[in-house]
A = this chain, B = another copy of it.
Amino acid sequence: MSTGTLLYAQSGGVTAVINATAGAVIEAARARRVNVLAGRNGILGVLREELIDTARLPRPALRALAHTPGGAFGSCRVKLKSLDEDRAKYERLLAVFRAHDVRWFLYNGGNDSADTALKVSRLAEESGYPLTCVGVPKTVDNDLAVTDCCPGFGSAAKYTAVSVRECALDVAAMADTSTKVFVYEAMGRHAGWLAAAAGLAGRGADEAPHLILFPERPFDEADFFAKVRATVERVGYCVVVASEGIRDGEGRFVADAGAGKDAFGHTQLGGVAAHLAARVKEALGYKVHWTLPDYLQRSARHIASKTDLLQAQAVGRKAVQYALRGMNGVMPVIVRTSDAPYRWKVEPVALDRIANREKKMPASFIRKDGYGITDAARRYLEPLIRGEAPPPYGRDGLPCYVAAAGVLRPRLLADWNH
């Protein structure tokens, strides 16, 4: 067995395939006789010295990670600040690493995690502690720089396109006497990647979704109403996909406008779809239904994209390879080498090219009128939702997911007083 252990931690919002990355990391490390510890609830588990010993995970549970959504070891929303501001935390991380002979640190997350991995690697260098830090990409938001796409996005995109195609058939069947406008709210606070993916559900002006609202374009209510009315008059109904992050001309989130007081004077949470539905009903008089899939869109492993699954596993395996080769401060990213046929490979990129940056959706992906996607967007998006990779189902009709809580490694340090 190599000297040292590899520490893996998940960060930020989970996805349908982040556990597939975890499974690939553990398998690849085991193949090289390196033991993997997993932070319980991500970096928090490292700070608290709550480390799951994956050597004690039974093989069936390990295999099941490939088809289990959520974050099997737990994740967290904790952003470490600069080395100066959060020095105590960074030093605690190093202390835990030393105590458990952690020589490789794999941090699976988005922009923030790339930044944290980078800072940890710098502190280790300063301190003369031999550590190799590798970032592993993950986010349904698809907003990581450099990489062509982010593991997790393809499955959420597939969920979105399939769901919009399905509910559009429902609305089409009922529109004559019932719901004429349907609003689907997609995740995407800053970039309209998932809303764009909904565009794959149909082609041409008369196929749903008829109108997509992107955070990249200011929301003009009057223009939107006119478009909804014209669509209902032409097609008989109108399916709208709205990014949660759309803003009006003054830059205010439309979702915040949805927040207010309910009939009892209680605070109401915001929401774009609820707000638009109420406004369309009020202004145009149509019967409106709406949906807020929320976490369903990022946890729907049952409708995961096979492309996405393969990429999630590939970045996990490559991350282990890079780490064991001592390639410090890099992240394996997806490089697209061809659109048709779709071909991709994984390559290492320096973390400082990724940390704290955000990939916007190219302007060329949004149709000139602002309400749909272009052929360029289709060429980019379509391969990402391609292929099915259903989980196994039990006799009870439910997917066989695992809850891999795991066994904690005994603690060696004093309590962490944060």
Q: Which chain A residues have a beta carbon within 8 Å of chain B's beta carbons?
A: 10, 13-14, 16, 41, 44, 68-72, 74-78, 158, 161-163, 165-174, 176-179, 182, 200-201, 256-264, 266-269, 271, 274-275, 277-279, 281-282, 288-296, 298-303, 305, 307, 382, 385-388, 390, 393, 395-399, 401, 403
Contact = CB atoms under 8 A, between A and B. Distances in A.
12 contacts: A13-B174, A41-B177, A70-B172, A71-B173, A76-B174, A166-B299, A172-B403, A200-B396, A269-B274, A291-B292, A291-B296, A305-B397
Contacts of A262: 257-260, 268, 275, 278
Contacts of A268: 258, 260, 262, 268, 274-275, 278
A206 to B, nearest CB: 10
A182 to B, nearest CB: 7
Given A166-B69, A200-B398, A294-B289, A264 B274 contact: no
B269 A263 contact: no
B174 A71 contact: yes
Contact of A263 (B260, B266, B307): B260
Contacts of A396: 200, 382, 385-386
B397 A385 contact: yes
B296 A70 contact: no
A271 B290 CA distance: 11
A75 B399 contact: no
Contacts of A178: 76-77
Contact of A165 (B44, B305, B399): B399
B397 A158 contact: yes
Contacts of A163: 296, 300
A293 B295 contact: no
A305 B257 CA distance: 39
Contact of A174 (B77, B256, B266, B393): B77
A284 B148 CA distance: 42
A74 B300 contact: no
B295 A292 contact: no
Nearest to A13: B174
A383 B38 CA distance: 38
Nearest to A382: B396
Contact of A77 (B177, B275, B278, B398): B177
Given A262-B268, A277-B269, A301-B166, A78 B388 contact: no
A78 B291 CA distance: 24
A268 B201 CA distance: 29
Given A171-B295, A293-B296, A263 B267 contact: no
Contact of A295 (B182, B278, B302, B393): B182
A382 B77 CA distance: 36
Q: Which 5 A-B pairs have the closest CB atoms?
A: A70-B169, A71-B173, A260-B262, A385-B397, A170-B299
A58 to B, nearest CB: 18
Contact of A269 (B174, B281, B307): B281
B387 A390 contact: no
B395 A386 contact: yes
A219 B281 CA distance: 29
Contacts of A161: 397-398
B401 A173 contact: no
Contact of A291 (B10, B275, B293): B293
A116 to B, nearest CB: 14
